[in-house]
Structure 1
Amino acid sequence: MTLKSKKLRDSAKGQECQVRIPGICNHNPETVVLAHVGKSSGMAQKSDDIHATFACFDCHDALDKRQNNDFFIPEEIELFAWHGVQRTQKIWLEMGLIEVVK
């Protein structure tokens, strides 16, 4: 893991969940971690840290399919996750952890 990846992962501590799945999110910043999103996410494989979002314990479980849910189809969960990635990247831009090269 590079120093930049460590900074991205560490930045999740104390953040608000950016996935925010209704009826699932626990809204507890103390449980937020950097959750990887995409076809290679899940317990067995990890995608790169830029394709990740701040997720509470319960939303993270829903993303990794460790929690059964009767509310949403997988495509809806994936959409919540990608919206979380967008919000997380905006936070990282504001924190100076990533930048857009002009």
Structure 2
Amino acid sequence: MTARLIGMGKIKTYRNQKIRDSARGKECLMKLPGCCGGTESTIWSHYRGEAGGKGMSLKADDLCGAYACTHCDAIYDGQKMIPNGIERVDVWLAWHNAHIQSIVILHADGVLK
């Protein structure tokens, strides 16, 4: 758990290489307009909010992530424009839904116990 959530001094952010590596070969779960839909560019997309441990140039904890292709992740991160026809809230909702699905997959694959 991060320091921001428990109100303590700075503690180490949770990292798990198995979680990050598990994205290889997985399907993008965000599926925003323009998503390639394949598995070759899927990464572990980290949450952008403070509640997940993000801040001061730190990525969120590895538990706070989702399977997303580089296209969808770039939209979520703000590196690409939001596609026409959707709003920022739709992007965040897509990420949060992908997060829940990703956690279920991590558990089913035995990465999380």
Q: CA deviation at 1:45?
A: 3.5
How far the C-alpha of 1:38 sits from its partner, in A, is 3.5
Q: Residue 80 of structure 1 aligns to a residue in which SS?
A: helix
1:91 match: 105
Q: What TM-score comes out, normalization by structure 1 length?
A: 0.83
1:54 is aligned to 2:67: yes
Unaligned stretches of 5+ residues in structure 1: none
Deviation at 1:57, TM superposition (A): 1.1
Q: Computing the radius of gyration over CA atoms, which structure comes out larger, 1 or 2?
A: 2
The amino acid across from 2:20 in the alignment is R
CA distance in 2: counterparts of 1:7 and 1:26, whole angstroms? 24
- Report the CA distance shift for 1:86/1:66 in structure 2 as closer, same or farther (over 3 A): same
Match for residue 90 of structure 2? 76
Query: Over residues 37-74 of structure 1, what are the superposed CA-to-partner deviations in whole Å (9 max), with x where a residue is unaligned?
Result: 231469x4311111100110110111101111233221
Give the aligned length. 96
TM-score by length of structure 2 reads: 0.76
